[in-house]
């Protein structure tokens, strides 16, 4: 037997993180590598704040299989305490009303990156462009997920038996 670490995490257990999941279905069941992805940001309780054409949602289910990018280091005590309030206040801004949604230019990624940049500015850091954030933070995680998915799909079609690890080991 060969044991591979699955790159997907239970999003509601990933606190203060940037999450990515397929808009429909899951990565391991039906994702073809070309379908749309959806992103969100978790609070300190695992509630996923995400934005779409209906406005901001606070989801406590539906993000059970995600790519997770942690956003806060354990030594950032002040930010750890402020995170939930910052995220809630940010999500109530006029910019995130449903009628402002635009699929290509003002979408879930815009929402999540704008929040990341709000936090960066509050810490005296420069904001990141979509290209910079994608290159630095998303591509390493999505590349790993892509390799895993390719291998998973190949093995599933070649009569190999794939056993998921118990939840606590993930």
Which pTM does this prediction carry? 0.87
Residue 62 CA, distance from chain mean position = 12
Alpha helix locations (H) across the chain?
Answer: 77-91, 108-122, 130-133, 139-156
pLDDT greater at residue 24 or residue 50: 50
**Which bin fits 124, alpha (ψ -120 to 50), beta or left (φ > 0)?**
left
Average pLDDT over residues 9-36: 91
Alpha-carbon distance values, 35 to 38, 68, 128, 157 (Å): 10, 18, 25, 21
Could you give the CA distance from residue 133 to residue 114 in angstroms, rounded to a whole number? Answer: 11
The CA distance from 95 to 154, in Å, is 43
53-65: pLDDT as tens digits: 999 999 999 999 9
Helices 108-122 and 77-91: crossing angle in degrees, nearest 10, is 140
Distance CA 65, CA 138 (A): 16
Domain boundaries defined on the chain: 8-156
Write down the pLDDT at residue 167. Answer: 58
Residue 82 pLDDT exceeds 80: yes
166 has pLDDT over 80: no
- Decide: 33 and 146 in contact? Cβ < 8 Å: yes
Question: How confident is the model over 6-23, as a mean pLDDT?
Answer: 95
pLDDT score at 145: 84
The answer to whether 42 touches 16, Cβ cutoff 8 Å, is yes
Quote the pLDDT of residue 74: 78
Query: Tens digit of pLDDT for each residue in 101-148?
Result: 999 999 999 999 999 999 999 989 999 999 999 999 999 988 888 888
CA-atom Rg of the chain in angstroms: 17
Give the whole-number percent of the chain exceeding pLDDT 90.
65
- Looking at residue 169, its pLDDT comes to 46
């Amino acid at each position: 037997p060969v044991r591979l670490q699955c790159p997907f995490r239970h999003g509601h257990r990933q606190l203060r993180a940037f999450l990515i999941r397929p808009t429909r279905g899951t990565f391991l069941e039906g994702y073809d590598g070309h379908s749309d992805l959806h992103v969100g940001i978790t609070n300190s309780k695992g509630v996923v704040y995400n934005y779409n054409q209906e406005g901001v949602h606070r989801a406590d289910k539906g993000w059970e299989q995600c790519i997770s990018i942690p956003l806060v280091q354990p030594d950032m005590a002040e930010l750890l305490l402020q995170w939930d309030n910052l995220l809630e206040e940010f999500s109530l801004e006029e910019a995130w009303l449903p009628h402002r949604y635009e699929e290509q230019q003002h979408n879930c990624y815009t929402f999540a990156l704008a929040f990341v940049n709000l936090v960066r500015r509050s810490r005296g850091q420069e904001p990141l462009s979509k290209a910079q954030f994608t290159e630095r933070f998303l591509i390493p995680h999505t590349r790993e997920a892509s390799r895993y998915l390719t291998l998973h799909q190949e093995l599933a079609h070649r009569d190999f038996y794939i056993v998921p690890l118990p939840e606590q080991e993930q």
